[in-house]
Chains A and B, each alone.
Chain A
Amino acid sequence: MQDVSFSVEIGEKLAIIGPNGAGKTTLFNLLNGQFKASDGRIYLFNQDITNISTQRRAHLGQARSFQMNTLFPTLTVLDNMQPAVHVLKPSRFHMFRSITSYDDHITKAQKLLETMALWEKREDLAQDISYGEQRKLEIAFSLASEPKLMLLDEPSEGLAPIIVKEVGKVINRLKKRRIPILLVEQNPPFALKAADYVYITSKGLIVYESTPDELKDDVEAKGKYLGVTGR
Chain B
Amino acid sequence: MGGIALEPIKRSSQEQLVRLLPYIFGLLLFTMFPLLVPTYLQTMITKVFVFAIFAMSLNLIWGYTGLTSLGHAAYFGIGGYVYAILVTRYGIESFWVSGPLSILATGLVAAAFGIVALRVTGVYFLLVTLALGRLVYYVAVKWRSMTQGSDGIIGIALPNLGLPGFTWNATYFCFFVLFVLIICYILLYLIVKSPFGYALQGVRDQEPRMRCLGYNTWLYKYIAFIIAGIFAGIAGMLFSQYLGVFHPDHTGVAMSTVVLLMVIIGGTRMFFGPIIGAIVIVLLEYFASLYMPARWPMLLGAVFVIAVMFLRGGIGIHLVRLWEKVINGYGSVKGCVPL
Seen from chain A, the residues whose Cβ lies within 8 Å of a Cβ on chain B are: 32, 34, 53-56, 58-59, 63-64, 66, 70-72, 74-76, 78-79, 82-84, 86-88, 91-100, 102, 106, 120-125, 128, 141-142, 144-145
Contacts and interface: CB of A to CB of B under 8 A. Distances in A.
A32 B198 CA distance: 23
B213 A141 contact: yes
A125 to B, nearest CB: 5
Given A70-B209, A88-B214, A128-B2, A79 B198 contact: yes
A122 B2 CA distance: 10
Contact of B191 (A71, A96, A102): A96
Given A79-B198, A98-B193, A99-B198, A120 B5 contact: yes
A162 B251 CA distance: 61
A59 B214 contact: yes
B225 to A, nearest CB: 14
B29 interface: no
A147 B45 CA distance: 53
Given A32-B212, A120-B6, A124-B2, 19 more contacts: A53-B211, A55-B217, A58-B215, A70-B208, A75-B337, A75-B338, A76-B337, A82-B195, A83-B215, A86-B198, A87-B214, A94-B194, A95-B194, A99-B195, A99-B198, A102-B195, A121-B5, A144-B213, A145-B213
A124 B193 CA distance: 19
Interface in B1-58: 1-2, 4-7, 9
Contact of A86 (B9, B193, B199, B338): B199
Contacts of B216: 53, 55
B335 interface: yes
A87 B215 contact: yes
5 contacts: A66-B208, A83-B199, A95-B194, A106-B9, A123-B5
Contacts of B191: 95-96
Nearest to B6: A120
B151 interface: no
B201 interface: yes
A47 to B, nearest CB: 16
Given A83-B198, A124-B2, A72 B214 contact: no
Contacts of A34: 208, 211
Contacts of A123: 4-5, 7
Contacts of B195: 82-83, 86, 91-94, 97, 99, 102
Interface string B122-150: 00000000000000000000000000000
Interface string B185-223: 001001101111111011001101111111111000000
Contacts of B9: 78, 100, 106, 122
